[in-house]
Amino acid sequence: MEFTTYTLPNGIRGIHRRIKGNVTHCALLVNAGSRDELKNQFGLAHFTEHALFKGTEHRKAYQVNCRLENLGGELNAFTTKEDTTIHATTLRSDFSKAVELIADVAFHSTFPDRELEKEKEIIYDEINTYKDSPADMIYDTFEEMLFAGSELGHNILGRKSSLARFSGESIREFVARTHTTDQMVFSSIGNLSAKSVETTVARYLNDIKSSARDFSRRQPAAVEPFSRIVTKHTHQTHCIIGARAQGINDAERLPLALLVNLLGGPSANSLLNVLVREKNGLSYNIEASYTPYSDSGIVAIYFSCDHDNTDHCIELIEGELGRLQTTPLSARRLSMAKKQFIAQLAISMESNEGYMLGAGKSFLAHREVDTMEEVYRKIQALTAEDLTAVASSVFSSPSRLIYK
């Protein structure tokens, strides 16, 4: 059996995979991100993630940072629009230390005001760095427009003005409301038996009081397709063409993922890279991405180019999108696309940490995890008509955002 799952009495779920090797990876995934902030809390989920490392009831901030690093391991965290993840990597012999430390920062952090004020300066610098990169910033601007009026639309980092108002009490209120045990998964991978892992996790997490979420996320309202130009005085034009897409539980999620990979995935032979860069020499950087959320998603095609080439690039890209909606792929082209996608997934799974995080996220969202063999079988079963249908549902009326 590829995965073993368990549930603690307080509702925290666990998933483990045993593999050979002397390194273990583990993480606590919480189904709470920037989407779950109230209107006066934008940026608080990300600030909370930073604040978890600033001291606990048992450790000062430097002790949190040094606990695993002194052993050659590492502790880190990240925040997305829908979840917060605290993860650690250690030698197998230090697995229990990693679990204990994750439990300590997740449930016993004290959020001292002096440390929080210093951390705000760090995030101010993070915001400034982000503003200096139009290639990054345009994604958030596009998503803000595409999900206008929805909590999905606002930036994860928040604004300096709102960040300045946050305190330890702000964080405690946010954590109490969103970090509930029924919305948590502890994921692990390593050369440890499922029984020993469950025993270790239970030792440090069983005493956490059971809690349940008392709110629901709002479905994003429909937004009319748009075409906007924002003057940024950049040396190049930066452009995104994209649309709302299928959510994480939608049956069309897999054919859309295959389609987007074929269209502008990481390979040099993606349709758009060949068309825009190789054949016409118009752009150094062109890519397509698909991000599914619990009840919606976003597909974005990004490129940068000289200002004079913008219209030509858009014409080529939208022409390719039109062909995908009307002309099914040949059997040979579809077979190649499937083989490439499956190989990329297999290679990505060679990262045990990535595999652990992916399994935890899937278990958090679906309460089950497909084996890689099941995923490969589903990909092989896709037809050219499946891809044409999903292309029509997503790309029939795309929106555009241009930075100039």
Query: Each residue of 19-51: pLDDT tens digit?
Result: 999 999 999 999 999 999 998 999 999 999 999
Chain-centroid distance, C-alpha 398: 23
Token pair 């295959």 in the structure block, residue: 258
- Angle at which helices 253-264 and 331-348 cross, to 10°: 100
Q: Is 87 helix (H, G, I), strand (E, B) or coil?
A: strand
Mean pLDDT calculated for residue range 45-71 = 95
Provide the pLDDT confidence category of residue 237 given band limits of 50, 70 and 90. Answer: very high
Fold adopted by 3-206 = Cytochrome Bc1 Complex; Chain A, domain 1 (3.30.830)
Check pLDDT > 80 for residue 257.
yes
**Residue 389, phi then psi, degrees to nearest 5:** -65, -45
- Angle at which helices 168-178 and 44-51 cross, to 10°: 100
**Residues 94/70, Cβ–Cβ less than 8 Å:** no
Superfamily for domain range 227-403: Metalloenzyme, LuxS/M16 peptidase-like (3.30.830.10)
What percent of the chain is modeled with pLDDT above 70? 100
pLDDT (0 to 100) of residue 384: 97
**Smallest Cα–Cα separation from 296: which of 150, 141, 83, 140?**
150
How far, in Å, CA of 18 to CA of 181, rounded? 25
End-to-end CA distance of the chain: 53
**Residues 365/294, Cβ–Cβ less than 8 Å:** yes
Check pLDDT > 80 for residue 135.
yes
Provide the pLDDT confidence category of residue 372 given band limits of 50, 70 and 90. Answer: confident
Q: What are the start and end residues of each CATH 3.30.830.10 domain in the chain?
A: 3-206, 227-403
Burial 317-337 (b: 16+ CB within 10 A, else e): beebbeebbeebbeeeebeeb
Mean pLDDT calculated for residue range 140-158 = 94
pLDDT (0 to 100) of residue 186: 98
**Smallest Cα–Cα separation from 259: which of 119, 120, 395?**
395
**Smallest Cα–Cα separation from 170: which of 130, 103, 123, 117?**
117
Mean pLDDT calculated for residue range 169-184 = 97
Token pair 């998503």 in the structure block, residue: 143
**Residues 185/13, Cβ–Cβ less than 8 Å:** yes
Structure tokens at 390: 């999903």
pLDDT (0 to 100) of residue 115: 93
Q: What is the enclosing helix (H) or strand (E) of 127?
A: helix 113-131
Q: What is the enclosing helix (H) or strand (E) of 26?
A: strand 23-30
**Residues 208/372, Cβ–Cβ less than 8 Å:** no
How far, in Å, CA of 7 to CA of 202, rounded? 9
Among 55-69, 309-323, 331-345, 360-374, the range scoring the smallest mean pLDDT is 360-374
pLDDT (0 to 100) of residue 1: 54
How far, in Å, CA of 343 to CA of 217, rounded? 35
Check pLDDT > 80 for residue 365.
yes
Mean pLDDT calculated for residue range 228-238 = 92
Q: What is the mean pLDDT of the chain?
A: 95
pLDDT (0 to 100) of residue 234: 87
Check pLDDT > 60 for residue 343.
yes
Provide the pLDDT confidence category of residue 366 given band limits of 50, 70 and 90. Answer: confident
How far, in Å, CA of 6 to CA of 45, rounded? 27
pLDDT (0 to 100) of residue 383: 97
Structure tokens at 123: 């995030």
How far, in Å, CA of 181 to CA of 218, rounded? 21
pLDDT (0 to 100) of residue 250: 93
Structure tokens at 299: 């597909």
Q: Which carries the bigger pLDDT value, residue 205 or residue 349?
A: 205
Give the gyration radius of the chain's Cα atoms.
22
Check pLDDT > 80 for residue 323.
yes
Model pTM? 0.94
How far, in Å, CA of 203 to CA of 67, rounded? 19
Q: Is 321 helix (H, G, I), strand (E, B) or coil?
A: helix
pLDDT (0 to 100) of residue 2: 82
